[in-house]
Amino acid sequence: MSLESDLFEKMRPDTGRLVDYGFKKNDNQYVLDRMICGETMKARIIIDESLHISGRVYDDFDEEYVAFRPEGARGEFAARVRMEYIDLLEDIARHCFVKVPFVSDQANRINDYIFSAYHNVPEYIFAKFPGYAVYRNDSGKWYGLIAEVPAGTLPEVNEKKEIINIRVDSSDMAEILNLPGIFPAFHMNKKNWVTAVLDDTLSDAEIKNLVDQSHELISGGKANLIRSEWIIPSNPKYFDLDHAFSVSELLYWKQSSKVRVGDLVYIYSGMPFGEIRWLCEAVETDLPYKGANDGPVHFEKLMRLKMIRFFDGHLLNRKMIARYGVTNIRGPRYMPKELKEEIIRLYNLEENENE
Q: Residue 327 burial (CB < 10 Å; 0-12/13-18/19+)?
A: middle
Ranking 98-112, 168-182, 274-288, 326-340 by mean pLDDT, the lowest is 326-340
Average pLDDT, the chain: 89
Ranking 28-32, 84-88, 242-246, 326-330 by mean pLDDT, the lowest is 326-330
Is the pLDDT assigned to residue 353 strictly greater than 60?
no
Against a cut of 0.75, is the pTM above it? no
pLDDT digits 0-9 by tens, 198-239: 999 999 989 998 998 899 888 864 444 457 889 999 999 888
pLDDT digits 0-9 by tens, 274-303: 999 999 999 999 898 877 666 666 677 899
Tell me the CATH number for domain 3-99: 3.30.1820
Phi, psi of 342 (to 5 degrees): -70, -35
Per-residue confidence (pLDDT) for residue 337, from 0 to 100:
84
Per-residue confidence (pLDDT) for residue 350, from 0 to 100:
63
Is the pLDDT assigned to residue 85 strictly greater than 90?
yes
Per-residue confidence (pLDDT) for residue 222, from 0 to 100:
43
Q: Which CATH class is domain 227-354?
A: alpha beta
Domain ranges of the chain: 3-99, 105-222, 227-354
Span 341-345, mean pLDDT?
92
Which listed CATH number (3.40.50.720, 3.90.1150.30, 3.40.50.970, 3.30.70.580) goes with 105-222?
A: 3.90.1150.30
Span 111-116, mean pLDDT?
91
Span 135-163, mean pLDDT?
90
Q: Residue 21 burial (CB < 10 Å; 0-12/13-18/19+)?
A: middle
Task: Indicate the pLDDT class of residue 269, thresholds 50, 70 and 90.
Answer: very high
| CATH topology identical between 3-99 and 105-222 | no
Task: Indicate the pLDDT class of residue 2, thresholds 50, 70 and 90.
Answer: confident
pLDDT digits 0-9 by tens, 166-192: 999 888 898 899 999 999 998 888 999
Gap between the Cα atoms of 13 and 36, Å rounded: 22
- Share of residues in the chain with pLDDT > 90 (%): 61
Per-residue confidence (pLDDT) for residue 197, from 0 to 100:
96
Task: Indicate the pLDDT class of residue 140, thresholds 50, 70 and 90.
Answer: confident
Per-residue confidence (pLDDT) for residue 117, from 0 to 100:
84
Strand pairing of 161-167 and 142-149? antiparallel
Per-residue confidence (pLDDT) for residue 57, from 0 to 100:
97
Contact between 14 and 98 (Cβ < 8 Å):
yes
Per-residue confidence (pLDDT) for residue 220, from 0 to 100:
66
Gap between the Cα atoms of 159 and 339, Å rounded: 33
SS3 94: helix
Gap between the Cα atoms of 245 and 248, Å rounded: 5
